[in-house]
Amino acid sequence: MSGLYDLHTHTTLTDGEMIPIELVRRMAVLGYSIVAITDHADSTNLDFLIESVNRLKTPAELYGVRLLCGVELTHIPPPLIPGTARAAKKNGADIVIVHGESPVEPVASGTNHAACTCSDVDVLAHPGFITTKDAYEAHDRGIALEITSRGGHNRANGHVAAVARKAECIMVVNSDAHAPHDLLDKRAKFDVARGAGLKKEECAPIMDLNIDCIVFR
């Protein structure tokens, strides 16, 4: 098992159960080579999160993991998403995720659209019942749509996969891990993709995705 990625994880820096280096170690043991720590962020903790995760890059390398410093912009008012995403990148974030309009949280209407039209956003997490129009906006900017294993958020996976397929969007499979039991091995990751309605031949390029096509687009 090698070459696995997860672009959406949480630690004790916000609401996760694992300190960052524990998360990295557990991911390394599962065969992950690329991991993004993307704790929940708004204007009050953005700089703290970026500075903290960037400190962990060398220890992560010693475990064979390329660590991406990220944030998940969460419950940001839609008009403020572009500026906050831009600030995150300017201050050293490798990857910016936006907490999409999940069916199980009161995310503000318009969040998906704001994320999909922002070139500083890299991944729209659990976007719920995203519109085809917004998916095309994401496609035009190279923004990936997430297929998630997270309970509740994953209720709309089938819809997300169908809309992403139609708009030819990049799709990523992430755990949105908050605890050790949330982490996915290779088989579980594949099952999440298949459970979203993707065919086996569609899963392979998602599982083997070159993450640099998102980070350095």
pLDDT (0 to 100) of residue 212:
94
Provide mean pLDDT across the span 173-182: 98
Q: Which residue has the higher pLDDT, 195 or 217?
A: 195
In the numeric block, the tokens 């099952």 are attached to 191
Provide mean pLDDT across the span 100-110: 98
* Number of domain units in the chain: 1
The answer to whether residue 2 scores a pLDDT higher than 80 is no
- The Cα–Cα gap between 201 and 141 comes to 25
In the numeric block, the tokens 């991944």 are attached to 123
Domain carrying residue 108: 4-215
Say how many C-beta atoms besides its own lie within 10 A of residue 157's C-beta.
23
- The Cα–Cα gap between 20 and 45 comes to 16
Cα torsion at 203, 205, 210, 214 (round to 10°)? -70
CATH of the domain at 42: 3.20.20.140
pLDDT range class, residue 45, cuts 50, 70, 90: very high
Say how many C-beta atoms besides its own lie within 10 A of residue 1's C-beta.
9
The answer to whether residue 179 scores a pLDDT higher than 90 is yes
The answer to whether residue 74 scores a pLDDT higher than 80 is yes
pLDDT digits (tens, 9 = 90+) for 125-165: 999 999 999 999 999 999 999 999 999 999 999 999 999 99
Provide mean pLDDT across the span 175-200: 97
